[in-house]
Amino acid sequence: MSSTRNALLRGTGSRGTRASNGPRQWSFHNPVRVTFGSGCLGRISEILDGRRYVLVTYGEPHPREAATRIAAAAGEPLVVIDDVSPNPDFVGLAKSCARLGVQTELPEAIVALGGGSVIDTAKVLSASGGEFERVRRYLVDHEGEEALGSVPIIAIPTTAGTGSEVTSWASVWDRDAGRKYSLWRTDLYPEHALVDPELTLGMPRMLTVHTALDALSHSLESIWNVNANPVSTNFAVGAATDILEVLPDLADNLGSLALRSRMAMAALLAGLAFSNTRTALAHSLSYPITLRYGLPHGLACSFSLPMLLRAVIGDDIECDEGLRRIFGEDLLAGVGRLTDFLRDLGVSVSAEDHGVPRDVFRDLIAAAFEGERGRNFVGAKDRVLDAEEQQRARPGDDAGCSDGNDTTSQ
C-alpha cells in the first residue's frame, strides 16, 4: 500500500476521522441480543413468547432432535423448511420462499436452527415475505426495496464459524450466472442469537475444522480491513488467539464440550468483529473458488490466510498492532506459524493442491481486489502477488523464524 493511502486510511479515510492530535473517531454497532451457554436452547419458549414461527433447518438427524425440543417447548411451527442446501442459491431459495408464501398467515418469527446456510436462508425468507422474486429483483436489478419484508429471526447456530447469527447480511448464490450476491439490510440482524455449544457436539471433524477456519478468516479479515476499529479488533484478536489454540485440540477431541464451548465463543466473537467491518480479500478470493471448484466456504477462505498475512505486514500500523497481539512481535514468523497450523489440520496453503491452477489463482487474486470485499483489504495487489510467489518458492521457510532479523517484507 502506498504511504499516501495509509495516511488516508489512518487519518480521514474509511478507518474513521482523526481529530488533530486526538484519537481517531469510530463507531461500533450491533443490535443482536446474544444468549450463550450450554443448554441455553431451553430458553427458546421464553424468547418466542407465544409467537407463530417458521422453523428453518437441515433435514438431518442432529438438528432434527433439537427441532423436536423446540417444538415441545414452544409449540409446533407453522411450517418446517428443512431442505436447505450448502451455499443457498436462487433455485433452492425460490422453493423455500414459495413454501412460506403458501401459508395462510405469515409468521411472527423465523427460527433458524443450523449453520450459515440455514441462517442466511432465514434472512432471505424474512425479506421475501414468501416471494423470492422480491429479493431477486432487489439483488439483481437494485429495485423494489420498499417491497421487502422483515420478519424477526431467532438464530440458533449448530456450527461454530458462520457468524451469521450476529450479522445483517446473507450470501445468495446464482449458480446459473456464476455470481454471488450479498443481501445486506440492517433489519436482517437477528433479533436474538441463541448460542448453545451443546448443539455443535456431533459435528464431524471436517465440518468442525472448516467452520472454525471460516471464523479464523472472519477475525483476521476484520483486522486487515479499512473498516477496522478498536472494538472490532479486540473481538477479532480474542477470537483468532483462541481458535489457534483450541482448534488443534478440538480436532482430536470432538466430544469435548469444554473445547466446543471455547470454539463457539471464538466464532461468536469473530462474528461480532466482522459484523462491523465485513470481510476482505480472503473472502473475495474464495467466492469464485467455491463456485468453480466446489471448495467448502471455510476451506476456500482460509488457505490463503498465510499469503495475505505475509503481504500485509508493515502496510498499516493499526493492522500490524492487532496482528502482533495474535502472532507476537515477529509477524513473518507468524506466517510460518499460521502455515504450520493449517498444514497440521490437513489444509494445504497451495491453491494447486485445492485444484486451482496457479495462473488461474493469480488472475483470481487480481480480480478479488475489484470485488466489494476485496476493496476492504488494507494491503496492495503487487504485494499479495509477491507473497504468492514467495510462498510457492519457500512455503515452509518462515516456520520458527523468530529472531526478527528478516525485515525484507516490512
Beta carbon nearer to Fe ion, 169 or 361: 169
| 331 sits in which H/E element | helix 331-344
Those residues whose C-beta lies under 8 Å from the C-beta of residue 263, and which sit 6 or more positions away, are: 160, 197, 200, 208, 212, 215, 242, 243, 246, 247, 250
- What the block records as the C-alpha cell of 130 is 414468501
Whole-number minimum distance, CB 109 to Fe ion, in Å? 25
DSSP strands (E only) in 196-350: none
CB 272 within 8 A of CB 33: no
Look at the alpha carbons of 369, 86, 274, 200 in this order and tell me if their dihedral is positive or negative.
Answer: negative
Size of the chain in residues: 410
Matching residue, cell 493449517: 342
Query: Cα dist. 220→284, 308, 370 in Å?
Result: 14, 10, 20
DSSP class of residue 197 equals G
Q: Please, which residue, 82 or 214, has the CB nearer to Fe ion?
A: 214
Task: Cite the DSSP H helix spans in 75-172.
Answer: 90-101, 116-128, 132-136
Helix (H) or strand (E) holding 327: helix 317-327
Select 53 or 224, whichever has its Cβ closest to Fe ion.
224
Between 89 and 214, name the residue whose CB sits nearer to Fe ion: 214
**CB 301, min distance to Fe ion, A:** 5
- The residue number whose beta carbon is nearest to Fe ion equals 214
Considering the complex, what minimum distance in angstroms separates the CB of residue 328 from Fe ion?
25
DSSP class of 139: I
Note the residues at the interface with Fe ion (CB under 5 A): 214
**Minimum CB separation from Fe ion for residue 218, in Å?**
6
Q: In sequence order, what are the residues at sequence separation of 6 or more whose Cβ sits closer than 8 angstroms to the Cβ of residue 305?
A: 216, 217, 220, 282, 338, 342
Indicate the residue among 6 and 219 with the shorter CB distance to Fe ion: 219
Output the smallest distance, CB 294 to Fe ion, in A. 16
> Closest approach of Cβ 35 to Fe ion, in Å?
23
Return the SS3 of 7.
helix
Which residue, 120 or 214, has its beta carbon nearer to Fe ion?
Answer: 214
Report, in Å, the least distance between residue 160 CB and Fe ion: 12
Instruction: Work out how close the CB of 232 gets to Fe ion at its nearest, in angstroms, rounded to a whole number.
Output: 15
- When the beta carbons of 214 and 318 are compared against Fe ion, the nearer one is 214
CB closer to Fe ion out of 132 and 303: 303
